[in-house]
């Protein structure tokens, strides 16, 4: 017990606040296990559970409000940066937008339990300009559930947590080195999974310049927008593109010929590559994701169009890519 108590006597509740704040700010620090240990420390006579929980929730709210304001200030650019740096590539912008379309800010209640989703959802709340009162309410509930679940687990199973620390203490400095190695292995595993993920999605990309040239030349071309409708309404579309969901609903597209280009809002084209593989299975060929997605198109100075006010049939939308 001495080693566990001594460590938390040094960092205290303020240390818990700082560690949680660092993780919620975006660094890959696994604080959930730390909160479990903090719960065991509380059961052994340390600070009360409510004090530890209050510190953790306050750190979450402070970091999340920062992401919320960054989303309001920088819009989709902050999401692009987060997606590019995230160690959880599965939680891409398009996936998060779809969750927002279905659940709104209520998704914040469970976001912290899903690796890589927490910070993206808080920034997304700012991008879509969700009401601050609703954001704070749902984020507080989510942060409280996340923090309390870990602290209560540690409090209930404090003997088991103490046994682990006792075993590590028996190794002396080797025990401390083992903890550091486990942390390094955790971060290394995240990087490895990220690399494997994008290796699986690797396929020939097409640049925005090449796409523009092919459109101007009038070549047979089908441009598919893989983003959710909220993103299309907010950021616009490449002229002549169709929404993937409309395309799937129209069986006539099975007979189309020509190259298919798919784009999304993810800087690594994760969603576009997924949709491209689905289109290949459906019989389309060749299919290529657009390098850089919609943002690369806009950054290159090419025009965008706004989706129609009312849904139209996919067969009524141009697929030639030559529409201005």
Domain edges within the chain: 2-200, 208-316
CATH architecture of the domain formed by 208-316: 3-Layer(aba) Sandwich (3.40)
pLDDT for residue 306 = 80
% of the chain exceeding 70 in pLDDT: 70
Residue 175 has pLDDT above 70, yes or no: no
Minimum mean pLDDT among 39-48, 191-200, 208-217: which range?
A: 191-200
194 touches 116 (CB < 8 A): no
Closest CA to 82 of 74, 93, 90, 73: 93
pLDDT of 281 higher than 70: yes
Q: What percent of the chain stands above pLDDT 90?
A: 21
Residue 113 near residue 141, CB atoms below 8 Å: no
Tell me what the pLDDT averaged over the chain comes to: 77
**CA distances from residue 39 to 7, 22, 110, 198 in whole angstroms, order as listed:** 13, 19, 21, 38
Higher pLDDT, 212 or 119: 212
User: What residues form DSSP beta bridges with 225?
Assistant: 243, 263
CA-based nearest residue to 31, from 88, 121, 115: 115
| The pLDDT value given to residue 320 | 34
Confidence of residue 64 (pLDDT cuts 50, 70, 90): very high
216 has a pLDDT exceeding 70:
yes
H-helix or E-strand spanning residue 221: strand 221-225
Predicted pLDDT at 172: 53
pLDDT level of residue 321 (50, 70, 90 thresholds): very low
Comparing 136-145, 253-262, 312-321, which segment has the lowest mean pLDDT?
312-321
Q: Looking at the predicted structure, is the pLDDT value of residue 243 above 50?
A: yes
pLDDT digits (tens, 9 = 90+) for 79-111: 766 665 554 544 456 667 667 777 888 889 988
Query: Which range is most confident: 2-16, 49-63, 156-170?
Result: 49-63
Q: Are 187 and 28 in contact (CB under 8 A)?
A: yes
What value, to the nearest 5°, has the Cα angle with vertex 192 and ends 190 and 194? Answer: 70
> What is the reported pLDDT for 109?
93
């Amino acid at each position: 017990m001495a080693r566990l108590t001594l460590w938390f006597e040094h960092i205290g509740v303020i240390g818990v606040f700082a560690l949680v704040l660092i993780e919620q700010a975006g660094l890959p620090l696994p604080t959930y296990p730390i909160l479990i240990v903090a719960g065991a420390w509380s059961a052994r006579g340390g600070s009360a559970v409510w004090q530890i929980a209050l510190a953790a929730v306050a750190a979450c709210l402070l970091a999340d409000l920062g992401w919320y304001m960054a989303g309001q200030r920088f819009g989709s650019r902050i999401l692009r940066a987060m997606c590019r740096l995230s160690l959880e590539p599965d939680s891409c912008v398009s996936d998060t937008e779809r969750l927002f379309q279905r659940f709104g800010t209520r998704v914040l209640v469970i976001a912290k339990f899903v690796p890589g989703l927490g910070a993206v959802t808080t920034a997304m709340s700012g991008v879509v300009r969700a009401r601050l009162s609703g954001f704070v309410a749902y984020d507080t509930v989510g942060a409280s559930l996340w923090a309390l679940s870990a602290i209560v687990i540690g409090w209930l199973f404090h003997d088991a947590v103490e046994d682990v620390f006792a075993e590590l203490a028996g190794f002396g400095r080797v025990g401390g080195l083992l903890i550091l190695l486990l942390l390094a292995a955790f971060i290394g595993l995240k990087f490895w999974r990220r690399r494997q993920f994008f290796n699986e999605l690797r396929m020939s990309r097409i640049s925005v310049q090449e796409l523009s040239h092919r459109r101007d030349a009038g070549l047979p071309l089908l441009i598919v927008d893989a983003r959710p409708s909220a993103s299309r309404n907010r950021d616009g579309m490449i002229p002549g593109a169709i929404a993937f969901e409309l395309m799937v609903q129209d069986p006539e597209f099975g007979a189309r010929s020509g190259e298919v280009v798919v784009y999304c809002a993810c800087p690594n084209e994760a969603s576009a590559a997924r949709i491209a593989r689905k289109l290949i299975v459906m019989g389309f060929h060749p299919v290529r994701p657009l390098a850089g997605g919609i943002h690369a198109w806009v950054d290159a100075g090419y025009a965008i169009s706004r989706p129609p006010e009312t849904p139209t049939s996919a067969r009524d939308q141009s697929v030639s890519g030559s529409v201005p």
